[in-house]
Amino acid sequence: MYDITEYTRNRLKQLNKKLNTDKITIEQSKNKDKKIDVFINNKKVADIGALGFKDYPTYTKEKGKDYADGRRKLYYRRHSKEDDIKDDKITPSWWARWLLW
């Protein structure tokens, strides 16, 4: 089970503020293979963050900010060609990029 970090909670607050809403929420994922479930208006829209893979706050905690920043750049490069919207929905990749990286 993944404990949602303060970093991710702060990123969620930033996103809600940017969009002038409080309708986006997160919880620990019910999917045993994922970290976080994302909801809009209490409706689940994505489950993100594969367990077994580290994210920005995990790298920061374990190896420091400089190392985490390098991993973030690699993550962005690796996922740069993925769509942000598909079938008129925000993709899990976008949510993960915003909340975990």
Rounded to 5°, the CA angle 29-33-37 comes to: 20
Task: Output the pLDDT for position 1.
Answer: 86
The DSSP symbol for 22 reads S
CA distance 22 to 1: 25
List Cβ neighbours of 39 (8 Å cut-off, separation of 6 or more): 24, 25, 26, 27, 45
CA distance 38 to 17: 16
Task: Output the pLDDT for position 46.
Answer: 97
List the chain pLDDT tens, one digit each, 101 residues.
899 999 999 999 999 999 999 999 999 999 999 999 999 999 999 999 999 999 999 999 999 999 999 999 999 999 999 999 999 999 999 999 999 99
